[in-house]
Amino acid sequence: MEEMPKTYDPSTNEQELIDSWIKAGCYRRSKGVGDCTVVIPPPNVTGILHMGHAMDDTIQDTYVRYNRMRGRSTRWILGTDHAGIATQTKVDKKLKSEGISRLEIGRDAFLEECWKWRKEYGGTIVSQIRRMGCSIDFEDEKFTMSPEYAKAVRKVFCDWYHDGLIYRGKRIVNWCPNCRTAISDDEAEYKDEKGHLWYLRYPLEEPVDGVSYITVATTRPETMLGDTGVAVSPEDEEKAKLVGRNVVLPIVGRKIPIFSDWHVDKGFGTGFVKVTPAHDPNDYAMGQTHGLEQINIFDETAHVVEGYGEFSGMDRDQAREAIVAWFDEHGLLDHVEELDHSVMHCYRCGTALEPWLSEQWFVAVDRLKERATQVVKDGEVSFHPARWTQTYLTWMDNLKDWCISRQLWWGHRIPVFYCEDCGWEDALMEDTDVCPKCGGHHVHQDEDVLDTWFSSQLWTFATQGWPDHPEQMEGHHPTKVLVTARDIIALWVARMIMSSLYFTDEVPFHDVYIYATILAKDGSRMSKSKGNGVDPMDLIEKYGADAMRYNLLTLITNNQDVKFDANLDKKTRKLIDSPRTDAARSFVTKIWNASRFVQMNLGGYTPGEPKAETPEDAWMLSRLARIVESSTRDLEEYNFGDYARNVQSFFWSDVCDWYIELCKGRLLDGDAAEKLQVQRNLVFVLDCALRVMHPVMPFVTERIWDSLPASGLDDHSAEFLMLAAWPEPERLARFVNERAEGEFELAKRVISQVRSARARYRLSPRAELDVAVRATAEDSAVLDSQRDFIRRVGFVGELSLGPDQEKPAGSVSFVDGGLEIFVTLGGLVDLTSESKRLEKELSKSEKQLAGVVRTLSNQGFLAKATPEVVAKKNEQRDELELTIQQLKSQIADLA
């Protein structure tokens, strides 16, 4: 057995293990009893790993590794998404830098450039996922533009088209004038902007009761050129007399009606709302109800179309300025108010989106959403945490037809063909240049491509052989769990359920786990534009993948959003440090050092069963059985945060701080039989603990396990820990001993408080102290039975026990549960001098706290200071308050 190195180096060990695992085929699908098939949410082919990916992939790998060790059939499917608009934007920029535009080179040449881009940059995020230690099948990578996947996408379109679920029509969409394509509501980014509310006067066709005009309030005066109505609230009785009258639209001279509609809030502006059906979703709905004309005043680049005189050719901003000036010049600008409002922007280029009436392809969702709603209500698909169930159901209740066409070149081209001679139209599985109806050769294919989410909705079954080889899905579909972000419950999760039910007649997955959103340290969203994003690869380089993975899982709580405590260089935005990840690295080091100590003390070891020879053995084996049981339950129920935090508490505190320390005497001074048994117990505990910790920290546990001999758990025959058996709770249940745990925990409390007294008053760890414990008769009896253990481990001199114990002179007291523990300091500490020293510390801390509180009460400071500075001040205040509380407690104890 080769001795473990003194220190553990993640930078060399992790890459070596990845290569070994992949070479041995450990990542390929495994056979077993029960299925655990998971599909990775396909990252953009142009993307790089961010903290959301890191969290998502860590959760998936933890779950897959756990199930693999349980002996279940595991399959983790890898793949990337072609990311239509993102990739096209990247390639457009590349061509622009070369002095070329896609319009110059044409569609076919541009698509060649996209494929080249994918070949050159598409593997970046996959290699980063590999570096994280994700045990995903890299030999079976999928891509949403591969030929077999494209065939599946085409079949879905054609089947839905022929079933009447896909249609073409004119609707309001979110249009990006820069990317020149529609994008979905869910992909639009809202940004708060400082704007204005313009009050414009519209003359009445005929005065009413001496009133010659009405005043409308609008945030977008430039769209007034397309107004075809003015709406008021049905609840606004004062304006009822004007309903049915007309106004004459300034500049244009168009007569437009005044009508009432429930969309109008009578408290907004003047209560008169201009209605532009081609440039606002609510206006479009009102226009449909009231039969208003739809006039599109902008072209695809958001410039005013021909027919509007001096305003034609202006972009939106120019038109706004010019139209406001016109109203002012003609005495029709009533007044202007400042208004902060939220504006939709393109999530790719940042351009303000234009609600724009255009002809697009849509999926009619009414026939699809009913069953997709019911399977969640019935529990066929369960959300974790459960609160996201209502988010899904609410969205489904309000679901409207889905715009699936995009005005791009990179993507799945819509397979609809048109004959220019006879007007024939159809969706086809194969391309054609001959009309099947008239035999003409003037046939062309639709120019648009499908929304990226249209293709990714098939992910669970199109990656598993559908439609040509559905047999590949047997035993692997429905998949077990989808791990994803809350942002795409509507964009992706719902659509996957709808399409899977339609084409496979089964749900795509049984469970949906929604992971926490990782925020920057100040609580804001991480983003490239803000420069506050943390690069997971920087964390891996600095701390190792195990530390990053473990820290991410510990962040998970019932609260959805979590702050990541990383400090970044203000100029370079590179990682400086991450205290919590550093603490996680310390845990990795603790595991290594404790394991190395055990391994170095295995001289003469032979495998055998663990036995409870001492109270600490019984306690340890019982605690081990419980952590195996709780970890198994937590991972089965997707309680990843509890799992991670509990294994650390168990290993660091129970195993390292207590059990290994208590075993040292028998290892070093026990007879041969005692030494062998404690070795067997230690190896057994360590073996089980490594298996339990492996899913989240695969590298350090694998390296240690390889250096261990066989334990009483099994014969250690697996080539790798990741292929070894999970310690089944039923097998360890025989070790559960509530009495041993209770008695040992009682003794631990006494010893812990004695140690605390030494640390607080800066005494030697081995200074012998007299102790008295006031406890119930029952607890006193338990402690008396462990008198020798308490005295030996706690370096306790006299130990007095009983319900009537008095506080000895020269002692300090501690309350722990039902125990009141008195530790006699005697002549070891000058209590008077110590009290004076503590009084000085208290006075100093109180002055510091007063200064911090004054600063935090200063409005000038709060207005100018960055969120990071304010957060540090708040942390300083909390720390000082805790220090003051502790000092007061110590002073009272010494009085």
Q: Which domain holds residue 735?
A: 579-740
Pairing of strands 211-218, 189-208: antiparallel
d(CA 135, CA 867) in angstroms, rounded, equals: 39
Q: Residue 891, class by beta-carbon neighbours within 10 Å (0-12 exposed, 13-18 middle, 19+ buried)?
A: middle
- 686 and 734 share one domain: yes
**Dihedrals φ, ψ of 242, to 5°?**
-90, -15
Reported as a pLDDT band with limits 50, 70 and 90, residue 749 is very high
d(CA 695, CA 70): 11
Answer positive or negative: Cα dihedral of 390, 396, 399, 405.
positive
What confidence score (pLDDT) does residue 826 get? 76
Q: How far apart are CA 246 and CA 365, in angstroms?
A: 38
Spatial contact of 740 and 701, defined as CB atoms under 8 Å apart = no
Q: What is the mean pLDDT of residues 231-250?
A: 94
Query: Is the same domain home to 225 and 340?
Result: yes
Q: Which amino acid is at 559?
A: N
Residues 288 and 319 in one domain: yes
Residue with tokens 């820069």: 178
Answer whether 408's CB lies under 8 Å from 85's CB. Answer: yes
Same domain, yes or no: 713 and 591 = yes
pLDDT tier for residue 612 given thresholds of 50, 70 and 90: very high
In a domain, 700, yes or no: yes
Question: 166: how many CB neighbours lie within 10 A of its CB?
Answer: 24
Q: Is the pLDDT of residue 528 over 80?
A: no
For residues 589 and 506, membership in a common domain is answered with no
Closest CA to 720 of 705, 740, 739, 742: 705
Please count the structural domains in the chain.
6
Q: What is the 3-state secondary structure (H, E, C) of 60-115?
A: HHHHHHHHHHCCCEEEEECEEECCHHHHHHHHHHHHHHCCCCHHHHCHHHHHHHHH
Residue 528 is assigned to a ligand binding site = yes
Average pLDDT over residues 120-146: 94
Q: Does an H or E element contain 368, and which?
A: helix 366-377
Q: Residue 629 is encoded by which pair of tokens?
A: 């049981």
379 and 474 in a single domain? The answer is yes
SS3 of 542-585: HHCHHHHHHHHHHCCCCCCEEECCCEECCCCCCEEECHHHHHHH
With beta carbons less than 8 A apart as the criterion, state whether 17 and 699 touch: yes
- Assigned domain for 351 exists: no
Cα gap 474→35, rounded to integer Å: 10
Q: What is the DSSP letter of 474?
A: T
Weakest-pLDDT range from 21-25, 66-70, 249-253, 559-563: 559-563
B/e letters for 365-391, b = 16+ CB within 10 Å, e = fewer, are beebbeebbebbeeeebbbbeeebbee
**At residue 24, does pLDDT exceed 70?**
yes
Integer Cα distance of 484 and 41 in angstroms:
7
Exposure of 100 by Cβ count < 10 A (0-12 exposed, 13-18 middle, 19+ buried)?
A: middle
- Transcribe 606-664 into DSSP letters: --------SHHHHHHHHHHHHHHHHHHHHHHTT-HHHHHHHHHIIIIIIIIIIIIHHHH
770, 750 Cβ separation under 8 angstroms: no
Residues 129 and 60 in one domain: yes
654 and 725 share one domain: yes
Q: Report residue 348's pLDDT band, with 50, 70 and 90 as the boundaries.
A: confident
Written as one string, the DSSP assignment of 134-185 is: ----GGG-EETTSHHHHHHHHHHHHHHHHTT-EEEEEEEEEEETTTTEEE-G
Output the CA–CA distances (angstroms, integers) from residue 277 to 19, 227, 247, 291, 297, in the order listed. Answer: 60, 7, 17, 10, 11
The continuous run of DSSP H or E covering 673 comes out as: helix 672-693
Q: What is the pLDDT of residues 646-664, one digit of tens each?
A: 999 999 999 999 999 999 9
Q: CB burial class (10 A; 0-12, 13-18, 19+) of residue 563?
A: middle
Pair 374, 486 in one domain: yes
Distance CA(26)–CA(719), nearest Å, equals 10
Q: What is the distance between the alpha carbons of residues 727 and 65, in angstroms, rounded to a whole number?
A: 13
pLDDT surpasses 80 at 340: yes
- pLDDT for the residue 888: 84
CB contact set of 836 (below 8 Å; sequence gap of 6+): none
The answer to whether position 359 is within a domain reads no
DSSP helix/strand/coil, 587: helix
751 assigned to some structural domain: no
Residue 895 pLDDT > 70: no
Calculate the dihedral angle through the C-alpha atoms of 862, 867, 868, 872, rounding to the nearest 10 degrees: 50
Ramachandran region, residue 21 (left: φ > 0; alpha: ψ -120 to 50; beta: rest): alpha
Q: Residue range 552-560: average pLDDT?
A: 88
| C-alpha torsion 466→471→476→482, nearest 10 | 10
What is the mean predicted confidence (pLDDT) over 261-268?
Answer: 89
269, 196 Cβ separation under 8 angstroms: no
Q: What DSSP state is assigned to residue 322? A: H
- Distance of alpha carbon 173 from alpha carbon 180, whole angstroms: 12
Choosing from 345, 378, 409, the residue where a domain stops is 345
Lowest mean pLDDT among 321-325, 584-588, 848-852: 848-852
Domain final position from 804, 829, 854: 829
Q: Which of 829, 856, 883 is the last residue of a domain?
A: 829
In terms of domains, do 507 and 372 share one? Answer: yes
Q: Which residues pair with 174 in a beta bridge?
A: 183, 355
Contacts of 462 (CB under 8 A, 6+ apart): 149, 152, 153
Looking only at Cα atoms, what is the longest distance across the chain? 112
Residues belonging to the chain: 895
- Which of 66-75, 531-540, 862-871 is predicted with the least confidence, judged by mean pLDDT? 862-871
Q: Residue 756 domain-assigned?
A: no
Buried b (16+ CB within 10 A) or exposed e, 850-867: eebeebeeeeeeeeebee
Phi, psi of 395 (to 5 degrees): -65, -40
Same domain, 672 and 683: yes
Contacts of 739 (CB under 8 A, 6+ apart): none
Tokens 């195993």, residue located: 655
- Residues 686-739: pLDDT tens digits? 999 999 999 999 999 999 999 999 998 887 789 999 999 999 999 999 999 999
Specify the residue for token string 């295995």: 602
Distances in whole angstroms, Cα of residue 169 to Cα of each of 353, 403, 446, 450, 451: 20, 10, 14, 15, 16
Rounded to 5 degrees, φ, ψ at 13 are -65, -40
Binned at pLDDT 50, 70 and 90, residue 186 comes out as low
Inside any domain, residue 48: yes
Q: Is the entire prediction scored with pTM above 0.85?
A: yes
| Joined tokens for residue 94 | 């590349």
Verify that 824 and 711 share a domain, yes or no.
Answer: no
pLDDT-derived band of residue 859, with 50, 70 and 90 as boundaries? confident
- Tell me the pLDDT band of 496, cut-offs 50, 70 and 90: very high
Is the residue at 465 inside a domain? Answer: yes
pLDDT of the residue at 768: 92
Which CB contacts under 8 angstroms, 24+ apart, belong to 814-818? 814/753, 814/756, 814/757, 816/749, 816/750, 816/752, 816/753, 817/749, 818/775, 818/776, 818/779
Cα angle, residue 366 at apex, residues 264 and 457 outer, rounded to 5°: 110
Long-range contacts from 891-895, C-beta under 8 angstroms, 24+ separation: 891/835, 891/838, 891/839, 891/842, 893/812, 893/813, 894/812, 894/831, 894/834, 894/835, 894/838, 895/835
22 found inside a domain: no
Write the Ramachandran bin of 807: left for phi over 0, alpha for psi from -120 to 50, otherwise beta: beta
Confidence (pLDDT) at 386 = 94
pLDDT value for 715:
75
Are 720 and 728 contacting, i.e. CB atoms less than 8 angstroms apart?
A: no
* Mean residue pLDDT across the chain: 93
The backbone torsions φ and ψ at residue 444, rounded to the nearest 5 degrees and listed phi first, read -135, 155
Angstrom distance (rounded) from CA 59 to CA 604: 40
The CATH number linked to 206 is 3.90.740.10
**Cα–Cα distance measured from residue 531 to residue 360, given in angstroms and rounded to the nearest whole number:** 36
Confidence at 341, pLDDT banded by 50, 70, 90: confident
